[in-house]
A and B are shown apart, each in its own frame.
Chain A
Amino acid sequence: MAKVNIKIEGVSYQVEEGLTILEAAKQCGYEIPSLCAFNHGECSNGSCRVCLVEVVGARGLVASCVYPVNEGMEIIISSPKATEARRASVELLLSNHSQHCQQCDKNGKCELLYVASATGAREGRFAGSKTPTTYDELTPTIVRDTSKCILCGRCVARCKNAHGKDMGILGFENRGFNTIVAPAENRSFINSPCIMCGQCINVCPTGALMEKSEIAKVDAAMKAGKYVIVQTAPAVRAALGEEFGMKIGTPVTGKMVAALRRLGFKKVFDTNFAADLTIMEEGTELLSRLTNGGVLPMITSCSPGWVNYAEYNFGDLLPHLSSCKSPHEMFGAILKTYYAEKIGVKPEDMYVVSIMPCSCKKFEKERDQLKTNGMPDVDAVLTTRELGRLIRRAGINFPKLPDEDFDTDIVHDYSGAGVIFGVTGGVMEAALRTVYFKLTGKEYEKINFTEVRGLEGVREATIDINGTAVNVAVANGMKGAKILLDDIRAGKSKYHFIEIMGCPGGCINGGGQPYVRDVFLPNEDDDIMDTYIQKRANALYSEDERQVIRQSHNNPQIKALYDEFLGEPNSHKAHELLHTTYAAREGFND
């Protein structure tokens, strides 16, 4: 890469050609306050005007996030003119902002407040009229409050990057002072073909897009004396530590359990138990489709964002989806039947809370298809971030907690296969471990199917099982999924089994995971935006390696569950409790 010579604040530096001023300055150790710039220009419209600097010879101040460096450039960050302009930009943003910071859950992670402090924009110099506000809280998942939106366009960019240019739900609407970011017609997400993955929440710099909190519901259930059980998804342990300043990629399973116990949950279980159960059901379903000429390829159904996408856009392909409920829903159904009976608690007195890396699970749990005997399988879903809030609120010193084990009970064991559900390719790998055993009668020696690992949007592999070639594919994000789905629709798909996850990277990068912002992560490396997904993935793969039992079918409690209660995988009872149905839906519905 060619280098160019520049001066920043009068000091000479050599930097790579093609960098923006903002990136070059960062490499040289200068932090220019910036707001809309995000993740190497994933979104840099230069729209917020916060990162203004002086370039000697340029006509006016330039937005450093979009202005490339060139040979001989002299950049001045600290001049009174630039300092004043940055402050004015932030004050203008604040003048059209609701400023209900005290009530806002984003407080503490709000980038607008951060740049306000960094630029000295404290008093409201520009009081005036405000853009008419839309407050959308109709979905169980995402709350959109345009009074906090700064029109940076990060969410617009992320939605398109993850799910395709044709699918992006959010866009800029209207013009000038009336501009808002919204689904077409300023509709609610609930009346749009939004899959509710929550990626937009993950990138929003302010509180304009947030998950809908269910903390109050859980509080009420505890207060009412319900038997409140909590289960945690695999990806949560790979990221919860970040909420407490721990390095990204630190597995915190033991501390998470300790914290949940201190928060007053009667039982602390691991969704991984149900992930193993899912593999038994889904693996059996796949084998039966393979041997009985069923609909192929079969596609996983754990990701509710993906299920939404399928129902909106590929109604004709719904028979390809596995009929398995997602793991936490399976767990809910088992807790409120098998387990409730075992411990002598009435199902109606039981309250199941799922801690999920996912915002869409909040939507999923409300689905009519996911009720057993008229009761929802899961009563409340909290995101990893919400759990962080609960722990902080209780005054728990998380990093100092001892490591504790999940409750030892008849539904607590889990295999390494269950753990890797949280990363893209994980469900596929877990299923292959069990399918291999079922087809050959022996365990796969290497255990790991590394062919399906990775973070690319679409991956494929051919697995040789006893001379039978099984073609598999893995997609994360709907942009990649659509390629596979279009092929199925055209009758050109060569695959037997496909795993699809709604979020790029899978659940570890889900819409409920801790925000990753380099400004709030001073102890992380500069390339953290490029590496955090892999670091979280490694946390899960390392827990898989540490497990004694690595395959779902070897989980002794799963065996007991079938022996005592369910019978065989895909039995009538299993179908009643653990399987579900899908229905095509119109995206723009009224």
Chain B
Amino acid sequence: MAHINEAGVKKICEICDRYANDKTPLMMILSDIQNEYGYIPLEVQQIVSEKTGISVAEIYGVVTFYSFFSLEPKGKYVIGCCLGTACYVKGAQQIIDKFSEIIGIKPGETSADGLFTLDALRCIGACGIAPAVTINGKVYPKVTVDAVPGIVEEYRAMGGAN
């Protein structure tokens, strides 16, 4: 566990303690860690295992089952393209392909500069505005292929600035 510093370990333990009285705390713990750090590497899973008594294999299984959880650090801007049925018939595949082409990464990957992560999402419940894209929580309705370069540019312009 060489990669995590003391403060990190303390924080993860603190998150685990929040749900110490829950019967099934794992999803809540992982969810908080994902939100806090943006990813859940094996070292962190080991700490959670020690705190909760749930095996690393099981935790790893949960992390890899839900696409919300990530094993790798995500980019500064997480682009989520909905590929649910409604978005898909409205051309979502072309939208995600365009993001992929412009940024140069496949769905699930993060760009080398750490700026973008491209995620393919299943239905996000926004079928009325299909095809929908979310970027760090901001929703883009009825996205067209032509609009994609502009959206990417918008975030590139903001760059690494906070």
Contacts and interface: CB of A to CB of B under 8 A. Distances in A.
B55 A167 contact: yes
B49 A174 contact: no
Contacts of B53: 165-166
A168 B65 contact: no
B60 A173 contact: yes
B61 A171 contact: yes
A274 interface: no
A449 interface: no
A185 B64 CA distance: 9
Contacts of B55: 160, 165-169, 171
A588 B57 CA distance: 11
Interface residues of B, number: 15
A168 B64 contact: no
Contacts of B59: 184
Contact of A170 (B42, B54, B57): B57
B56 interface: yes
Contacts of B56: 184, 588
B46 interface: yes
A183 interface: yes
B54 A185 contact: no
Contacts of B46: 588
A86 B62 CA distance: 30
Interface string A140-170: 0000000000000000100010000111111
Residue in A169, A174, A184 with the greatest tally of chain B CB atoms within 10 Å:
A184
A30 interface: no
A291 to B, nearest CB: 38
A244 interface: no
Contacts of B72: none
Given A175-B64, A185-B42, A169 B57 contact: yes
A184 B60 contact: yes
Interface string A579-590: 000000000100
A126 interface: no
A168 B49 contact: no
A172 interface: yes
B49 A166 contact: yes
Contacts of A182: 57
A42 B109 CA distance: 39
Interface string B38-51: 00001001100100
A168 B58 contact: yes
Contact of B60 (A156, A166, A185): A185
Contacts of B64: 173-175
B54 A166 contact: yes
A432 to B, nearest CB: 34
Contacts of A175: 64-65
A437 B59 CA distance: 51
Interface in B14-67: 42, 45-46, 49, 53-61, 64-65
Most buried by A among B49, B57, B61: B57
Given A169-B55, A169-B57, A184-B57, A174 B65 contact: yes
Interface in A174-198: 174-175, 182-185
Contacts of A168: 55, 57-58
Interface in B58-84: 58-61, 64-65
A170 B58 CA distance: 8
Interface string B99-142: 00000000000000000000000000000000000000000000
Contacts of B58: 168, 171
A171 B57 contact: yes
A172 to B, nearest CB: 5
A165 B64 CA distance: 19
Nearest to B53: A166
A170 B60 CA distance: 10
A172 B66 CA distance: 12
Nearest to B50: A166
A182 B55 CA distance: 13
A173 B61 contact: yes
B65 A184 contact: no
A180 to B, nearest CB: 10
A171 B58 CA distance: 5
Instruction: Point out which of B53, B55, B61, B64 has the most chain A C-beta atoms below 10 A from its C-beta.
Output: B55
A171 B57 CA distance: 5
A24 to B, nearest CB: 31
A131 to B, nearest CB: 14
B54 A184 contact: no
A432 B45 CA distance: 43
Nearest to A172: B61
Contacts of A156: 57
Contacts of B54: 165-166
A274 B96 CA distance: 68
A166 B53 CA distance: 5
A37 to B, nearest CB: 21
B23 to A, nearest CB: 13
Nearest to A194: B57
A160 B56 CA distance: 12
Contacts of A588: 42, 46, 56
A9 to B, nearest CB: 40
Contacts of B65: 172, 174-175
Nearest to B45: A184
A315 to B, nearest CB: 14
A458 to B, nearest CB: 18
A174 B57 CA distance: 11
A465 B59 CA distance: 48
Interface in A108-165: 156, 160, 165
Interface in A546-562: none
B70 to A, nearest CB: 14
A168 to B, nearest CB: 4
A102 to B, nearest CB: 32
A464 B53 CA distance: 37
A175 B65 CA distance: 5
Nearest to A176: B65
Contacts of A171: 55, 57-58, 60-61
A524 B60 CA distance: 40
Given A173-B60, A174-B64, A588-B46, 14 more contacts: A165-B53, A166-B55, A168-B55, A168-B58, A173-B64, A175-B64, A175-B65, A183-B57, A184-B42, A184-B45, A184-B56, A184-B57, A184-B59, A185-B42
Across the A-B interface, give the 4 residue pairs with the lowest CB-CB distance, nearest first: A171-B57, A184-B60, A168-B55, A171-B61
Interface of B: 42, 45-46, 49, 53-61, 64-65
6 contacts: A160-B55, A166-B53, A169-B55, A172-B65, A184-B42, A184-B56
Interface of A: 156, 160, 165-175, 182-185, 588
